[in-house]
């Protein structure tokens, strides 16, 4: 794309990477601002880590309850595309126009078809540890991470074809049926077997099972006995039947020559496709080599015949004694049959070519086996030699033994390890008494007196170099000839096909080995319509190879008859290899379960089957050894269970490109891998768990259903220890993870709530970092509830061997070593960047900081190092949810400014048909009842409910749907509305919370008012809660449907009101927050009224002279001020006061007074950025002694150059003592001021830079340098700043001391007091709320918290909003915070405000309260009840009297209904929930179905 | 307690300590992992955190009064466990060097410990002095062809060549011992006897006296360390050294003689035993220090190597002289013995008085004092030390 063009055209779309709360917030803010959003999430569902959390601090709200509505909102947002299982591979372009390439992993479930009913998961036999439950609980291979997952679709964990399946020529899903056998699900196992193999009872006995050779288990001990298990299933169901063909019958007849495995498979496959195949068999028995080449003690005749009968039972004709070439010619076949498959096998013996081979007594192995199999036992001699080393040799030898031979010896020219025969067969034969003569090659036969064979001359061999077959070649040893005496010899050195039997000159080409020539892939011969396969093409091979040939032939014939390409896409038919390696470390040794066999000493006399087979118990034990290499076992049960046909195993990795204008990165964090701290025993001691695991244990939806138990023995713990800073604040990770102190506190409180006061919770910590809003109070509450805080880092945990309890040794008072035994130890693991952070950085071309996080700068805190790419959440720095949400909104604000010209270009507003007027019409109700697959239909009798609905008055149509929410059903509903002229719709299905908007939308699309809709939740309330009482569930469903219908009769069309929005914003406060918010909005194109009470803008930034990272705040201040002054959209009022603010969202009126002159401005939103003030301390001689100052005064002093020189007047280096928590964390101001520790360290480091000789002491209570600030704490210590901890009740004392000052402090670590002679004392004074907060709060009808800071709508997820719409908060007015945090919150406020301002009209909710003037007598009960302050009392003159009525502010009303409930006169009601409607519901409820 | 008794933070302490070696626990945030990892920490003795904290806070008097650094046997578990990699073990080594210097009333010790130039200079000085004495003696012997008191001409051989050395050797051993003993009083004053410390009856000192000997030779604390592979070598070295010192001081005649003793004579088996112990112990230590694979042998200083090398050379030359004599190489034996004396003298004078060897006296002494304190605490539980309060 030419760069000129891309510069001018920005794309109105953005990519959000990561679907946690950060990504979600960014997506919602962008979409609200008119930007199309793609959300790329690498997992199968969005939600991030917060979805896994139990409760949130400091409010103890349920995390899932808090975020679920947001999940739903995103899930159904028309402008947000969720791309799950996606990762970004690369990005090109520049800000405004990027091209992003995305790779999507296959889900194996069609997202457009899956309805999330869950039928698949209950069928799935594969159980895995659930990642969502931190591997403490199970999940299935087809799964949804958690019930509220968005998108609400399932996914399959599928690594690819397992080695057994890949190794099998016909790709039987061995893992599939083995897994089912392991669970005792034998009938399903049979179904899986029959899917690919119609002759399993034969394969289970004689297949050479390449699946076992490929088995991963052989890396551990023995391969699985897959054929044994297959045979077990066929033995278990001796009368199983093959599936009847379901395909439409075809007229074409197919001829198959030969009834061996190739012919049988071909016939079966063709029959399943609807063809009628006829098999021509030359012999009097069917089965080919199966029948005549394999002795019955390995494959009993009844087993073979049963398989043949099953073939016949589905319509396969087998003509015996019909040799093609004699009884019927190939030409005749070609004329009468549409296609022919030649599978005549290889039945002609190969000859040794040595003298005496024609002597009586010398026979071929196939010949003797054929004779025995057709005619019954025939003696081969008393002393028999068998020549050869293959399976046929063993079969022949063992048959000879059973035919009465006294001794049988196998003569083979190489050694045992080179024998091509199956080693197990060799062992079996040896057990029966067969002898072996290795390294002996036949030279000639010797004749006996009776003219029969009497001996075999053999020559000794030795092994030479490897030959073409890869085996050592036998080399004759000269002069070693000798004679073996015998009276019978069986030669089994291979066979060739009897091609000539088919007739001469057929046009079929042959090879030099005498086999037929055929295309290896399609099996086509030179003759059109004639295919050939099996031994007659390959030469003698194993049964499963012949079966593959049969299958291939069937496919080719079918394609040929349908004139399709014979070659396309058939590569996977052949054997293929899996791409992955299975990790077998840690798998315990467990040898193969041996198959019972007949006693070898006696079985050699009979033809009874040698192997007895597994018992069910043995089979289950053996099957359980499977290592589940492919994860998904490929049983296809889910596919069968899924009525929506959403399962799609053929999905492959996909790539796509997206065109976006900007990117927001919110890929989240990785919890620290606690295994790395070996001394803490994680992974070794079962009861040492991580905090995230404990979070799941606490959760009601967790692995133990919210019962707090320890993993090892599920015992309820009595003592829990929490170990802080695991993977944080050490030399590897020199940063603080910011959240662990508080989440440990929360987990301790919640654990005590679950298990009662008796539970002992001890938190071992170093510095308790309760720096956030309300955190300090939360910490105190925990202490009051008995949570013990022990200041000791625990380096080592030991386990009590017997009880698996854990011993924690720690340092108590006075450095005493103490030990305590705990039931559970929770490791508070820190936050790490994502494992592949380097790849992410490379992919996006962004740089990382020294901690491998995506560092940002103080004044651009949402900006990555690459323009157009923004960041949010812990990916930038460890942080908590509100900071993540703020940063996400801030990123969105930046994107909205960047793409302001392209806003709305990729978002098409939805157009609905004109609404039908149904006023005055008789209700015509359509009822749609949902099966939800089997989710509802499996319990509730749906047809019954439908029939019942039809009987109810006004119901003109009722029917059921498999999935009412699916896309095609929406079209169906629209059609029915049309056909039956419906004017009310009732859906009986799941919850309105997720689905009501969907159905309302369907009504609107059909031209009906969307409020003419009612829903009955028969899933949650019937099929779920009454799962085991189907009859009652059905009855209740009818009740709910009747109630819904009753209400629907009274439904009236409702309309949402539109209010025009004043497209301007008021920003109160001109500090860094106010300036940033104002600029952010102005850059998005909105007018901003910026009001500052002081003469100059800049706020506290004016007194900030340097920063820890070396940035120059004064330069930034100058830049900000310049931008504010130069921006035409910003209207600045300095030295101004607010006289009044009136109105609500969309329409505020504010009077601003500047120097006595009042201006009135109109605006749609207001942002509170009023800041806070520094506390002016009254103690520590502050104000009395000039040498005692605050940090801010010190900063000014340092900035002015009036530093602390090392060579002071009196010759010694000077000493500065800093005292922390002055005016914070005290009775009057119980909260932490968050920034003072960092500020003190900043100034201490500055002092050390200016004069390294100056001594700096910091007297603190907890050092709260969260996030990367920790590294500056480290730096300060390294530079010699001395940190001394004191307790609140033992505060330091400052007194004058002759020339200087002296500070006395009790060092808590040593337990000793000490005196520090000081030249200066610096107080870290806290941040206190502004005094005029109250007035502003009243103007805007927003609350303050108990400390006097503004109180946001929700502490975690709505940190810049108020409960009052259209008003936002940022900066210090909200709570103490750093500059970058203030900037983030200001940008976030701007993003939230922009979402309001971008719309032309404000669309109000339709279900809100309405006053009935005639009935209202102005008693005003409702005014106080209204939680949203939406109702006010108005008085007006009416017919000469004062009339009092209430008035609802429709923009503020949320339709909660409190007013309607309090009104004694029916003077106020909620639209859509009128008393009549509710009465009708109640009456219907009381009727009897 | 009055403000006057509150210890005053002295920011110069850290600089003083750092003159004796590496002391960089500045990454320390006082988490206590080091103290927890240590197997030798008991209720009354806690380190390294406390000791290091005294130093960091500049609390000089409490640091000088503490015996805890001597309980530390240098295993290095603390350095392994330290989350800040502050290497408390090395800080403890430096603290012991610092303390050893503080115990002295001469300034030689602190100079020798602070500066390798002083250290080497002093060693060379004594070596040269000894060499001069020996050369002078030989010159005198050749020039004057001395006779014994009976008037017989003296022949070649240890007995004839070095009779005066007997007294000289005694001086070389006893002088440093006297110096060391004189410091014991100073240590007692710093740690046990100050005005602010509780009085402990002399009887307690007598009762616990066995601890001193026991700790010197058996070193049970070192065996308590997790890393006790070095215990055998180190305590054998201690036993061997004490044994050799004792027999050389009290039975030098056995050695400075040309007599051939039978194998059962103590001169033979005691001497062999002592030499074997010393050589085994030293090889063990040198092997560890040279490869420095284990935590305990990391951060080896120059003086840590010179001392064992000197001691080993002393043992080897002594043994060589012995072997030469028993194989009848008279003159070779003679020179080997001279060499032995030239090496042994500076080692004894400098190392024992001012160098690394002094820990052999200080460490058992500190452990002995701690045992005394503990017993005193047991006898008079009421007299518990009340922590300072503001």
CB-defined contacts A:B, below 8 A: 124
B148 touches chain A (CB under 8 A): no
Instruction: Name residues whose C-beta falls within 8 Å of residue A949's C-beta, 6 or more positions apart in sequence.
Output: A927, A929, A955, A958, A986, A988, A1038, A1041, A1045
Tokens of B359: 């820990």
Chain B contact set for A811 (CB, 8 A): 32, 35-36, 46, 49
A730 touches chain B (CB under 8 A): yes
In this structure, chain B runs to a length of 390
Interface of A with B in 1295-1314 (CB under 8 A): 1304, 1306-1307, 1309-1314
> What are the CA-CA distances from residue A671 to residues A727, A740, A1357 (Å)?
9, 11, 21
Long-range contacts at A1173-1177 (CB < 8 A, ≥ 24 apart): A1173/A1327, A1173/A1328, A1173/A1329, A1173/A1330, A1174/A1100, A1174/A1325, A1174/A1326, A1174/A1327, A1174/A1328, A1175/A1222, A1175/A1223, A1175/A1224, A1175/A1229, A1175/A1325, A1175/A1326, A1175/A1327, A1175/A1328, A1176/A1325, A1177/A1222, A1177/A1223, A1177/A1323, A1177/A1325
Strand blocks (E) in A766-859 = 788-791, 797-799, 806-811, 817-822, 824-829, 831-832
Q: Is B61 exposed, middle or buried (0-12, 13-18, 19+ CB in 10 A)?
A: middle
B36 touches chain A (CB under 8 A): yes
Chain B contact set for A1248 (CB, 8 A): none
Tokens of A800: 């009590």
pLDDT for residue A577: 67
The two beta strands, A1136-1144 and A1130-1133, are unpaired
- Quote the minimal CA–CA distance from B162 to chain A in Å: 58
Q: Which of B299, B358, B355 is nearest to B88 (CA)?
A: B299
B53 touches chain A (CB under 8 A): yes
Q: Give strand pairing partners of A442.
A: A458
B29 touches chain A (CB under 8 A): yes
Q: In this structure, how many other beta carbons lie within 10 angstroms of the beta carbon of residue A1199?
A: 15
* Residues A724/A737, Cβ–Cβ less than 8 Å: no
Alpha-carbon span A1364 to A1452, nearest angstrom: 7
Of A795, A814, A1313, the CB nearest to B81: A795
Q: Which of A1414, A1418, A1415, A1442 is nearest to A1431 (CA)?
A: A1418
Check A792 against B6: CB less than 8 A apart: no
Query: Which helix (H) or strand (E) is A784 found in, with range?
Result: helix A775-784
Q: How confident is the model at residue A834 (pLDDT cuts 50, 70, 90)?
A: very high
Tell me what the mean pLDDT of segment A570-599 comes to.
Answer: 81
pLDDT for residue A387: 93
pLDDT for residue A575: 63
Tokens of A1138: 């607010």
Query: Which helix (H) or strand (E) is A179 found in, with range?
Result: helix A174-182
> Over the range A1343-1355, which residues count as b (16 or more CB within 10 Å of their CB) and which as e?
ebbebbbbbbbbb
Tokens of B108: 């030689």
What ipTM does the predicted assembly reach? 0.90
- Residue whose tokens read 């005094």: A1331
B121 touches chain A (CB under 8 A): no
Condensed to tens digits (0 to 9), the pLDDT of residues A1090-1099 reads: 999 999 999 9
* Residues A1248/A1280, Cβ–Cβ less than 8 Å: yes
Per residue of chain B (390 residues), give pLDDT as tens: 334 478 999 999 999 999 999 999 888 999 999 999 999 988 778 899 999 999 999 999 999 999 999 999 988 899 999 999 999 999 999 999 999 999 988 888 888 888 889 999 999 999 999 888 888 877 777 666 655 555 565 555 666 656 555 566 667 777 888 888 888 989 998 888 877 777 888 899 999 999 999 998 888 888 888 777 788 889 999 999 989 888 887 787 787 777 788 888 888 899 899 999 999 999 988 888 888 777 777 777 888 888 889 999 999 998 998 888 888 887 788 888 889 988 988 888 888 888 888 888 899 999 999 999 888 876 544 434 444 333
Q: Which of A126, A124, A117 is nearest to A153 (CA)?
A: A117
φ/ψ of residue A183, rounded to 5: -100, 10
The DSSP call for residue A959 is: E
Tokens of A144: 């949804």
Of B36, B54, B83, the CB nearest to A730: B83
Condensed to tens digits (0 to 9), the pLDDT of residues A1127-1151 reads: 999 999 999 999 999 998 999 999 9
| Lowest mean per-residue pLDDT among A803-812, A846-855, B291-300 | B291-300
pLDDT at A1016 over 60: yes
A975 touches chain B (CB under 8 A): no
Angle between helices A740-755 and A691-698 (to 10 degrees): 30
* Residues A381/A486, Cβ–Cβ less than 8 Å: yes
Between these two residues, A658 and B251, which has the higher pLDDT value?
Answer: A658
The two beta strands, A1064-1068 and A1165-1168, are parallel
Condensed to tens digits (0 to 9), the pLDDT of residues B57-94 reads: 999 999 999 999 999 998 889 999 999 999 999 999 99
> What are the CA-CA distances from residue B384 to residues A296, A1253, B376 (Å)?
96, 40, 10
pLDDT for residue B293: 77
A1280 touches chain B (CB under 8 A): yes
| Lowest mean per-residue pLDDT among A4-8, A430-434, A464-468, B231-235 | A4-8
Strand blocks (E) in chain B = none
Of B37, B41, B59, the CB nearest to A1314: B59
Q: Please report, rounded to a whole number, the percentage of residues in chain A having pLDDT higher than 90.
A: 72
Q: How confident is the model at residue A6 (pLDDT cuts 50, 70, 90)?
A: very low
Interface of A with B in 1206-1225 (CB under 8 A): 1213, 1215
Instruction: Name residues whose C-beta falls within 8 Å of residue B238's C-beta, 6 or more positions apart in sequence.
Output: B216, B217, B219, B281, B360
- Quote the minimal CA–CA distance from A674 to chain B in Å: 15
CA torsion angle A1208 A1210 A1216 A1222 (round to 10): -120
pLDDT for residue B75: 87
B65 touches chain A (CB under 8 A): no
* Residues A1363/A1343, Cβ–Cβ less than 8 Å: yes
A1257 touches chain B (CB under 8 A): yes
pLDDT for residue A4: 43
Instruction: Name residues whose C-beta falls within 8 Å of residue A34's C-beta, 6 or more positions apart in sequence.
Output: A12, A903, A904, A907, A1398
pLDDT for residue A1203: 59
B119 touches chain A (CB under 8 A): no
Alpha-carbon span A1194 to A421, nearest angstrom: 91
Assign A190 to helix, strand or coil.
helix
The DSSP call for residue A1023 is: I
Of B36, B58, B62, the CB nearest to A809: B36
Chain B contact set for A1301 (CB, 8 A): none
pLDDT for residue B31: 93
Task: Share the mean pLDDT of chain A.
Answer: 92
Chain B contact set for A1311 (CB, 8 A): 387
Assign A1077 to helix, strand or coil.
helix
Q: How far apart are the first and last CA of chain B?
A: 6
């Amino acid at each position: 794309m030419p760069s000129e063009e891309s510069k001018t055209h920005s794309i109105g779309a953005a990519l959000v990477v990561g679907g946690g709360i950060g990504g979600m917030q960014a997506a919602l803010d962008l979409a609200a601002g008119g930007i199309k959003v793609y959300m790329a999430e690498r997992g199968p569902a969005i939600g991030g880590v917060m979805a896994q959390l139990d409760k949130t601090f400091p409010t103890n709200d349920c995390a899932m309850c808090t975020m679920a509505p947001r999940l739903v909102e995103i899930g159904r947002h028309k402008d947000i595309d969720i791309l799950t299982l996606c990762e970004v591979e690369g990005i090109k372009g520049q800000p405004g126009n990027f091209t992003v390439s995305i790779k999507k992993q296959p889900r194996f479930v069609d997202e457009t078809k899956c309805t999330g009913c869950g039928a698949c998961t209950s069928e799935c036999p594969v159980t895995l540890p659930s990642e969502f439950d931190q591997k403490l609980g199970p999940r299935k291979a087809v799964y949804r991470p958690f019930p509220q997952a968005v998108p609400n679709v399932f996914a399959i964990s599928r690594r690819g074809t397992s080695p057994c399946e890949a190794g099998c020529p016909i790709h039987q899903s061995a893992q599939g049926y083995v897994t089912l056998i392991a669970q005792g699900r034998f009938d399903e196992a049979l179904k899986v077997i029959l899917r690919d193999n119609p002759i399993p009872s034969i394969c289970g006995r004689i297949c050479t099972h390449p699946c076992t050779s490929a088995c991963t288990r052989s890396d551990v001990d023995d391969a699985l006995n897959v054929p044994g298990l297959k045979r077990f299933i066929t033995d278990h169901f001796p009368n199983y039947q093959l599936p009847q063909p379901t395909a439409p019958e075809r007229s074409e007849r197919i001829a198959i020559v030969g009834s061996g495995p190739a012919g049988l498979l071909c016939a079966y496959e063709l029959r399943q496709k609807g063809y009628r195949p006829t098999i021509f068999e030359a012999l009097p028995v069917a089965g080919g080599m199966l029948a005549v080449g394999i002795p019955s003690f390995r494959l009993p005749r009844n087993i073979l015949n049963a398989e043949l009968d099953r073939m016949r039972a589905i319509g396969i004709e087998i003509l015996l004694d019909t040799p093609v070439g004699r009884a019927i010619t190939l030409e005749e076949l070609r004329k009468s049959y549409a296609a022919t498959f030649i599978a005549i096998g290889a039945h002609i013996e190969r000859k040794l070519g040595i003298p005496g081979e024609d002597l009586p007594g010398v026979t071929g192995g196939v010949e003797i086996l054929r004779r025995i199999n057709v005619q019954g036992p025939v003696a081969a001699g008393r002393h028999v030699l068998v020549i050869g080393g293959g399976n046929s040799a063993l079969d022949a030898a063992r048959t000879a033994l059973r035919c009465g031979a006294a001794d049988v010896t196998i003569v083979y020219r190489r050694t045992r390890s080179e024998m091509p025969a199956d080693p197990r067969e060799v062992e079996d034969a040896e057990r029966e008494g067969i002898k072996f003569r290795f390294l002996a090659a036949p030279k000639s036969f010797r004749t006996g007196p009776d003219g029969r064979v009497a001996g075999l001359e053999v020559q000794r061999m030795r092994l030479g170099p490897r030959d073409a077959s890869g085996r050592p070649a036998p080399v004759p040893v000269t002069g070693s000839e000798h004679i073996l005496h015998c009276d019978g010899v069986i030669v089994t050195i291979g066979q060739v096909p009897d091609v000539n039997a088919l007739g001469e000159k057929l046009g079929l080409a042959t090879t030099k080995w005498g086999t037929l020539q055929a295309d290896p892939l399609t099996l086509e011969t030179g003759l059109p319509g004639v295919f050939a396969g099996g031994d007659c093409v390959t030469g003698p091979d194993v049964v499963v190879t012949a079966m593959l040939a049969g299958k291939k032939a069937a496919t080719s014939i079918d394609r040929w008859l349908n004139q399709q390409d014979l070659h396309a896409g058939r590569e996977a038919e052949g054997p293929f290899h899996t791409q992955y390696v299975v990790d077998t470390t840690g798998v315990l040794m467990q040898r193969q379960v041996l198959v019972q066999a007949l006693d070898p000493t006696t079985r050699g006399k009979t033809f009874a089957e040698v192997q007895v087979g597994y018992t069910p118990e043995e089979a289950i034990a053996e099957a359980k050894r499977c290592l589940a290499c492919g994860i998904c076992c490929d049983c296809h049960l889910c596919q069968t269970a899924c009525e929506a046909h959403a399962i799609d195993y053929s999905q492959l990795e996909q790539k796509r490109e997206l065109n976006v204008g900007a990117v927001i990165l919110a890929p989240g964090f990785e919890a620290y891998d606690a295994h790395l701290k070996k001394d803490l025993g994680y992974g070794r001691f079962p009861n040492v768990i991580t905090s995230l695991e404990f979070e799941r244990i606490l959760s009601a939806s967790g692995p133990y259903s919210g019962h707090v138990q320890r993993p090892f023995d599920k015992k309820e713990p009595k003592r829990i220890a929490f170990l802080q800073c695991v993977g944080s604040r050490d030399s590897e990770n020199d940063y603080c993870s910011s959240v662990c102190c508080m989440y440990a506190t929360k987990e301790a409180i919640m654990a005590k709530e679950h298990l009662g006061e008796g539970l002992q919770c001890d938190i071992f910590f170093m510095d308790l970092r309760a720096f956030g809003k309300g955190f300090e109070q939360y910490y105190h509450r925990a202490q009051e509830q008995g949570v013990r805080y022990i200041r000791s880092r625990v380096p080592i945990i030991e386990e009590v061997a017997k009880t698996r309890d854990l011993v924690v040794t720690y340092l108590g008072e006075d450095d005493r070593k103490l030990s305590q035994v705990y039931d559970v130890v929770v490791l508070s693991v820190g936050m790490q960047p994502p494992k592949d952070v380097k790849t992410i950085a490379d992919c996006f071309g962004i740089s990382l900081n020294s901690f491998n996080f995506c560092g940002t700068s103080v004044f651009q805190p949402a900006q990555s190092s690459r323009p157009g790419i923004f960041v949010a959440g812990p990916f930038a720095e460890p942080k908590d949810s509100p900071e993540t949400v703020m940063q996400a909104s801030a990123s969105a604000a930046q994107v909205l400014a960047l793409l302001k010209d392209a806003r709305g270009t990729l978002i098409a507003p939805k157009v609905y048909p004109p609404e039908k007027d149904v006023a005055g019409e008789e209700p015509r109700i359509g009822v749609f009842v949902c099966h939800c697959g089997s989710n509802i239909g499996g319990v509730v009798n749906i047809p019954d409910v439908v029939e019942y609905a039809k009987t109810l008055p006004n119901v003109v149509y009722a029917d059921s749907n498999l999935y009412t929410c699916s896309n095609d059903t929406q079209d169906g509903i629209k059609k029915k509305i049309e056909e039956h002229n419906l004017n009310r719709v009732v859906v009986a299905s799941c919850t309105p919370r997720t689905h009501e908007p969907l159905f309302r939308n369907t009504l609107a699309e059909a031209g009906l008012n969307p409020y003419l809709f009612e829903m009955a939740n028969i899933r949650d309330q019937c099929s779920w809660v009454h799962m085991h009482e189907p009859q009652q569930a059905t009855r209740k469903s009818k009740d709910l449907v009747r109630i819904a219908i009753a209400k629907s009769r009274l439904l009236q069309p409702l309309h949402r009101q539109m209010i025009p929005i004043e497209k301007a914003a008021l920003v109160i406060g001109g500090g860094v927050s106010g300036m940033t918010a104002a600029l952010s909005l102005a850059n998005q194109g909105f007018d901003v009224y910026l009001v500052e009470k002081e003469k100059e803008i800049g706020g506290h930034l004016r007194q900030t002279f340097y920063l820890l990272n070396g940035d120059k705040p004064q330069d930034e201040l100058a830049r900000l001020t310049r931008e504010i002054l130069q921006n035409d959209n910003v209207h600045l009022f300095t030295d101004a006061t607010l006289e009044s603010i009136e109105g609500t969202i969309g329409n505020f009126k504010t009077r601003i007074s500047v120097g006595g002159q009042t201006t009135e401005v109109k605006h749609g939103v207001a942002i509170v950025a009023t800041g806070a003030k520094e506390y002016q301390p009254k103690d520590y001689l502050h104000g009395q002694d000039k040498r005692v100052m605050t940090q801010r005064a010190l900063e000014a002093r340092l900035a002015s150059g009036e530093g602390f020189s090392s060579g002071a007047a009196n010759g010694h280096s000077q000493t500065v003592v800093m005292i922390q928590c002055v005016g914070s964390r005290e009775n009057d101001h119980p909260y932490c001021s968050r920034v003072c520790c960092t500020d003190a360290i900043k100034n201490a480091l500055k002092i050390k830079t200016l004069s390294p000789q100056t001594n700096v002491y910091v007297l603190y209570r907890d050092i709260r340098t969260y996030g990367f600030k920790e590294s500056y704490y480290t730096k300060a210590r390294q530079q010699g700043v001395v940190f001394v901890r004191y307790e609140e009740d033992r505060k330091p004392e400052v007194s004058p001391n002759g020339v200087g000052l002296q500070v006395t402090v009790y060092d808590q670590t040593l337990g000793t007091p000490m005196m520090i002679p000081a030249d200066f004392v610096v107080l870290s004074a806290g941040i206190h709320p502004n005094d005029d907060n109250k007035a502003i709060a009243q103007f805007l009808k927003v609350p303050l918290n108990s400390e006097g800071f503004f109180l946001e709508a929700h502490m975690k997820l709505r940190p810049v909003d108020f409960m009052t719409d259209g008003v936002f908060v940022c900066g210090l007015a909200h709570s103490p915070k750093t500059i970058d945090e203030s900037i983030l919150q200001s940008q976030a406020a701007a993003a939230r405000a922009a979402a309001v301002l971008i719309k032309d009209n404000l669309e109000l909710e339709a279900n809100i309260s309405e006053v009935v003037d005639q009935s209202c007598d102005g008693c005003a009960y409702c005014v106080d009840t209204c939680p949203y302050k939406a109702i006010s009392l108005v008085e007006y003159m009416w017919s000469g009297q004062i009339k009092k009525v209430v008035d609802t502010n429709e923009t503020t009303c949320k339709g909660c209904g409190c007013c309607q409930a309090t009104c004694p006169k029916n003077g106020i009601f909620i639209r859509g929930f009128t008393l009549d409607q509710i009465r009708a519901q109640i009456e219907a409820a009381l009727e009897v179905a | 307690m009055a403000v006057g008794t509150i210890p005053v933070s002295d920011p110069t302490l850290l600089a003083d300590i750092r003159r004796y070696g590496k002391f960089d626990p500045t990454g320390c945030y006082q988490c206590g992992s080091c103290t927890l990892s240590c197997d030798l920490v008991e209720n009354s003795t806690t380190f390294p955190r406390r000791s290091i904290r005294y130093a960091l806070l500049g609390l000089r008097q409490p640091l000088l009064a503490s015996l805890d650094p001597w309980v530390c046997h240098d295993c290095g578990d603390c350095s392994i466990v330290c989350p800040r990699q502050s290497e408390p073990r090395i800080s403890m080594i430096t603290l012991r060097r610092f303390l050893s210097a503080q115990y002295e009333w001469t300034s030689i010790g602190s100079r020798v410990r602070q500066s390798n130039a002083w250290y080497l200079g002093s060693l060379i000085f004594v070596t040269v002095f000894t060499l001069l004495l020996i050369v002078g003696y030989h010159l005198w012997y050749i020039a004057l062809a001395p006779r014994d008191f009976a008037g017989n001409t003296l022949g070649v051989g240890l007995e004839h060549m070095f009779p005066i050395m007997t007294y000289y050797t005694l001086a070389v051993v006893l002088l440093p011992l006297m110096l060391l003993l004189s410091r014991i009083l100073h240590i007692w004053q710093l740690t046990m006897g100050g005005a602010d410390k509780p009085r402990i009856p002399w009887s307690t000192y007598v009762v616990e006296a066995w601890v001193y000997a026991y700790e010197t030779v058996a070193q049970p604390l070192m065996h308590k360390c997790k890393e006790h592979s070095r215990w055998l070598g180190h305590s054998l070295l201690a036993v061997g050294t004490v044994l050799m010192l004792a027999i050389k001081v009290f039975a030098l005649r056995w050695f400075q003689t040309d007599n051939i003793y039978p194998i059962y004579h103590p001169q033979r088996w005691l001497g062999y035993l002592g030499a074997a112990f010393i050589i085994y112990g030293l090889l063990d230590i040198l092997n560890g220090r040279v490869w420095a694979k284990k935590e305990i042998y990391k951060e080896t200083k120059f003086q840590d190597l010179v001392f064992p090398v000197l001691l080993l050379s002393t043992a080897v030359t002594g043994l060589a002289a012995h072997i030469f004599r028993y194989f009848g190489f008279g003159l070779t034996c003679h020179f080997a013995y001279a060499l032995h004396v030239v090496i042994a003298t500076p080692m004894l004078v400098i190392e024992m008085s001012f160098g690394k060897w002094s820990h052999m006296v200080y460490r058992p002494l500190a452990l002995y004092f701690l045992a005394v304190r503990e017993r005193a605490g047991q006898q008079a539980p009421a007299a518990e030390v009340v922590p300072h309060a503001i």
